[in-house]
Amino acid sequence: MMSLRALVPFRDRQGLARPEFGVFGSLQREVDRLFDDFARSTLAMAGNASLMPSMDITETEKEFVITAELPGLERKDVEISLEDNVLTIRGEKKSETKPDDKNKNVHVSERSYGVFYRVLELPTKVDPSSVQATMSKGVLKITIPKPARPESKKIEVQEAA
């Protein structure tokens, strides 16, 4: 199983029902709101959480395969690095505004732009030159071959000279 270190998108908990805590119910709600606001501002400083790509990680006997959805991005918008068994996927989704867009009134703007990072710690030493990455229709696929396991060898005990 892979050990993963990844940025986790903030999950809004406002839709969850909260039990009332008697006379302290309003105080509890206020404390919850303060923590939610703090978490949102912290993630905003670290990068836009809504840009975080959804990923699948699978493993076979021979390789790991990481598949990430990167809608709206092209090959040139994505960088992948591997250092000390830590795989980093970095991308940037740039705004599509044009000079003549300044005169437009925006009624709804839900699309996100900016830089994101995903960081995964791989369980074994991986040869960076063996890693392959492809991208098609906004889906990034990274194939990481597992290193060959050393074969056991029986060592014969010799008579000392």
Is the pLDDT score of 84 beyond 70? yes
* Average confidence score pLDDT of the chain: 77
For residues 93 and 110, the model is more confident at 93
Q: What is the pLDDT of residues 21-64, one digit of tens each?
A: 566 777 777 787 787 777 665 555 554 556 788 899 999 988 99
How far does the chain reach from its first CA to its final CA, in angstroms?
Answer: 48
pTM of the entire predicted model: 0.60
DSSP per residue, 97-117:
--GGGGGSPPS------EEEE
- The residue assigned the tokens 């709206």 is 72
Rounded to the nearest 5 degrees, what angle is found at the Cα of 116, between the Cα atoms of 131 and 31? 135
pLDDT at 22 (0 to 100): 66
If you average pLDDT over residues 2-20, what whole number do you get? 44
Q: What is the CATH number of domain 22-97+111-145?
A: 2.60.40.790
The winner for highest mean pLDDT among 11-25, 60-74, 97-111 is: 60-74
So where are the chain's domains? Answer: 22-97+111-145
Residue 17 in contact with residue 29, Cβ under 8 Å? no
